[in-house]
């Protein structure tokens, strides 16, 4: 295979054999070698002809966008976040990828679409939805760093006079890294000198009663540790085996949320969002226990169930797509042993930047159309999700999955990892990714941000759910296969799901609990 890489990089390859992130055996005697850094296996596997993923973050501005101010912020803040934002990917004669440092003109990465003036907000909203779908399907240019920003200069709601769309290739980093980079460009509206704060993700824990004697307490603690060890060992083995089977041999049924169409990642999409009050989410959490993530996953599962039932009303729907069937969700997890975001300095110093994620498989509760819907407990969807997530969190299966990917990559190369990850996603019915956003209102280049949310493009699935909290509101974005999933009906079912869950848990109706963003 002919090398596409300059001679300097080929010389570097002789001297640098490690592929791990952060390994830099650069040599001061040759400045050209400082231009190259190895692309980690986890980043290579999502930047291939088999699988190419992008993270798209959308920030809604309350005022008309001043492009010159935005460009200055990109140049001053974004480019300093990480050298990957000013590097392109090159491939050597062994097929390994490298980050090559290049000169960057931010204007080359900014796209400003033009639409007729004087249109209604509803018309501009439809234009934006179509535009978002189009850029999600487009590939990023390989001859420049793998990011771009689209500036939509038109109002789409009373609180949105313009919209910034950041499209970043997943090879640059995972959601934690990318959103952390964007948050570094954003400042607190009340006091830019203060750091952004994020909601706590820690759950409550009960301390051991002190009424027991010392010996009794030690015996209880020892017994709990033993049970926890045995349980953790079993959960790790079972969870890892189940994950491997799901990624290789087992495949979900074709249902109303999974078409199973080959190449679905290249098909047009619809993007719909629903917003929930974070306070209401926490009220449900306090009633059922667990975490905010457990509640959110339960809402998605119950909303999917209601959507399946609604579609089943259509007499043209085949029984195989609405009856009790195999449905699995792929839940993405951050494998960093930390809570919350860190400063850019900490992320770089402690090697937190990059793709540090794994996944767990969750069975989506499914009921046949003949089941009496009054007997279906809305809270059961949360409790089942909570139980499975806790079991996997307390096991080593998510880390074994990461180790397996590294092993496959070391033996067969990044293309094999890419094929494995693609198969893992393709065999499931949906993916869910949840991130915590700032508590305070933010501004970027003096533009107040009314809302911020994200999505992921390039996934070989008919349904993808991404969640981000901001200013006490949690936005659920549903990316769906156009023409197969009724995105508006699905959004309505998600709203109805939370309404019923809240009423069941808290015994009262929601007041201003949800609203659809668009």
CATH topology match: 33-188 vs 244-439+459-506: yes
Residue 17 has pLDDT above 90, yes or no: no
* Confidence category of residue 45, pLDDT binned at 50, 70, 90: confident
Residue pLDDT, tens place only, 499-514: 999 999 998 776 555 5
Tell me how far apart the alpha carbons of residues 235 and 255 are, in angstroms, rounded to a whole number: 29
Is the pLDDT score of 19 beyond 60? no
Give percent of the chain with pLDDT exceeding 90.
48
pLDDT of residue 134: 95
Mean pLDDT, all residues of the chain: 80
What is the per-residue burial (b if ≥16 Cβ within 10 Å, else e) of 13-29? beebeebebeeeeeeee
Residue 465 has pLDDT above 50, yes or no: yes
> Taking CA 376 as the corner, what is the angle to CA 374 and CA 377, rounded to the nearest 5 degrees?
110
CATH architecture of 33-188: 2-Layer Sandwich (3.30)
Three-class secondary structure of residue 161 per DSSP = coil
Both structure tokens of 216: 């009794």
**Which of 315, 319, 326, 311 lies closest to 484, judged by CA?**
311
Gap between the Cα atoms of 431 and 71, Å rounded:
34
Going through 216-347 in order, the beta strands assigned E by DSSP cover: 269-277, 328-334
Tens of pLDDT, residues 172-227: 988 778 888 888 889 999 999 898 888 865 444 343 333 444 555 455 545 554 54
Tens-place pLDDT, residues 314-354? 645 554 454 568 899 998 876 554 454 444 455 555 556 66
Confidence of residue 496 (pLDDT cuts 50, 70, 90): very high
Residue 25 has pLDDT above 50, yes or no: no
Indicate the fold that domain 244-439+459-506 takes in CATH.
Chloramphenicol Acetyltransferase (3.30.559)
Q: How many CB atoms lie within 10 A of CB 108?
A: 12
Domain boundaries, the chain: 33-188, 244-439+459-506
Strand 430-435 to strand 463-470: parallel, antiparallel, or no bridges (unpaired)? parallel
């Amino acid at each position: 295979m002919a090398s596409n890489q300059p001679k300097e990089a080929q010389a570097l390859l002789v001297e640098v054999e490690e592929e791990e992130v952060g390994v830099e055996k650069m040599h001061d005697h040759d400045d050209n070698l400082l231009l190259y850094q190895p692309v980690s296996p986890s980043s290579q596997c999502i930047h291939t002809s088999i699988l190419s993923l992008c993270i798209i973050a959308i920030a809604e501005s309350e005022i008309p966008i001043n492009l010159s101010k935005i460009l200055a912020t990109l140049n001053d803040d974004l480019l300093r976040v990480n050298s990957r934002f000013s590097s392109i990917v090159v491939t050597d004669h062994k097929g390994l990828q490298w980050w090559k440092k290049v000169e960057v003109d931010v204007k080359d990465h900014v796209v400003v679409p033009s639409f007729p003036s004087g249109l209604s907000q509803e018309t501009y909203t439809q234009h934006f939805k179509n535009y978002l779908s189009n850029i999600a399907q487009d590939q990023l240019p390989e001859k420049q760093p793998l990011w771009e920003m689209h500036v939509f200069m038109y109002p789409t709601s009373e609180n949105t006079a313009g919209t910034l769309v950041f499209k970043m290739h997943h090879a640059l980093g995972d959601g934690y890294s990318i959103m952390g980079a964007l948050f570094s460009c954003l400042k607190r509206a009340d006091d830019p000198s203060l750091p952004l704060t994020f909601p706590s993700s820690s759950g409550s824990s009960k301390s051991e009663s002190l009424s027991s004697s010392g010996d009794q307490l030690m015996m209880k603690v020892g017994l709990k540790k033993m049970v926890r060890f045995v349980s953790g060992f079993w959960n790790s083995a079972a969870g890892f085996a189940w994950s491997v089977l799901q990624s290789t041999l087992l495949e979900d049924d074709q249902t109303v949320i999974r078409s199973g169409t080959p190449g679905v990642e290249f098909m047009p999409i619809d993007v719909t969002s629903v917003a929930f009050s974070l306070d209401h989410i926490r009220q449900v959490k306090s009633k059922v226990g667990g975490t905010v993530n457990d509640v959110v996953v339960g809402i998605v599962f119950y909303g999917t169930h209601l959507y399946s039932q609604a579609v089943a009303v259509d007499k043209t729907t085949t029984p195989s797509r609405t009856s009790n069937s195999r449905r699995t969700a792929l839940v993405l997890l951050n494998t960093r042993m930390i809570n919350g975001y860190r400063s850019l300095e900490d992320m770089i110093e402690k090697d937190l930047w990059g793709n540090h994620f794994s996944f767990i498989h969750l069975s989506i509760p499914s009921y046949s159309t003949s089941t009496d819907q009054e007997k279906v407990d809305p809270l059961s969807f949360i409790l089942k999700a909570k139980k499975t997530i806790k079991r996997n969190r307390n096991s080593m299966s998510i880390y074994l999955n990461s180790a397996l990917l590294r092993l496959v990559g070391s033996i067969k190369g990044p293309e094999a990892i890419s094929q494995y990850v693609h198969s893992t996603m393709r065999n499931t019915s949906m993916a869910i990714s949840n991130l915590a956003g700032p508590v305070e209102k933010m501004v970027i280049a003096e533009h107040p941000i009314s809302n911020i949310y994200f999505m992921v493009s390039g996934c070989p699935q008919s349904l993808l759910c991404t969640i981000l909290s901001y200013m006490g509101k949690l936005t659920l974005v549903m990316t769906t296969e156009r023409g197969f999933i009724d995105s508006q009906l699905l959004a309505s079912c998600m709203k109805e799901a939370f309404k019923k869950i809240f009423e069941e848990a808290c015994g009262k109706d929601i007041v201003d609990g949800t609203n659809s963003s668009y």
